[in-house]
Structure 1
Amino acid sequence: MKFIVLWNGLPTAESSVIERFMKTGGQMPDGVKLLGRWHAIGGLRGVAIVEADDNRAMAAMALDWGDLLTMDISPALTDEDLGAALGKRMAAGNK
């Protein structure tokens, strides 16, 4: 399953976030595959798209950075997945 991960750095965490990222490269825990990650210019915020089959791996990722970042993690659908869901809805007569 794919997830959208939005993060924001805590106001006092900039130095610690930089240090940890430079030390670890922002590696994902076992069971989480990074598909892409983008960082905002001039702030401790960004977005990543990740894939995991186990919610425990996603929890581990959030816990790895939870002392420095707030995270909003949501399941994600591809266009194809959403199209299939919309097609079923339309076929059932729902508009």
Structure 2
Amino acid sequence: MLFICQWTLNSEDRNEAIKRFLETGGKPPEGVALLGRWFIAGQSAGFAVLESDSPVALQQFALEWNDLLHMEISPALTDEQAGPLMAAAVSH
């Protein structure tokens, strides 16, 4: 299943978050695949697309970072998954 992970960073935690990212590469734990990650230019924020079938592994990932970042992890659908649902919704 796909997930979007959005994060924001407080300025007082910036250097510690950078240090942790450089040390770990921000790699997720086993059971979570990182499909892509983007940093929003000029802001202390970004998002990643993750794939996992394990809510436990997703929670582990959040716990590895949420002492420094505010994180939200939400389920996501691809165009191929959402398209038929949209078509059915407008055909009623």
Structure 1, unpaired ranges of 5+: none
Q: Aligned equivalents of 2:89 and 2:41: distance in 1? A: 40
Q: Which amino acid aligns with 2:29?
A: P
Q: 1:90 offset after TM fit, Å?
A: 4.1
Q: Which residue of 1 aligns with 2:80?
A: 80
Task: Tell me by how many angstroms 1:41 deviates.
Answer: 2.1
Distance 1:15 1:6 in 2: 19
TM-score (ref. length: structure 2) = 0.91
- 4+ residue runs of structure 1 moved beyond 4 angstroms? none
Matched, 1:49 2:10: no
Shift of 1:42: 2.8
Normalising by structure 1, we get a TM-score of: 0.89
Unmatched runs of 5 consecutive residues or more in structure 2: none
Quote the residue 1:15 is aligned against. Answer: 15
2:28 corresponding residue in structure 1 = 28
Tell me what 1:62 maps to. 62
**Cα deviation, residue 85, structure 1:** 1.4
Higher-Rg structure is 1
Equivalents in 1 of 2:42, 2:20: separation in Å?
Answer: 18
How many residues align? The count is 92
Q: Secondary structure at the match of 1:13?
A: helix
The two structures, once aligned, show a CA RMSD in angstroms of 1.3
Distance 2:69 2:62 in 1: 9
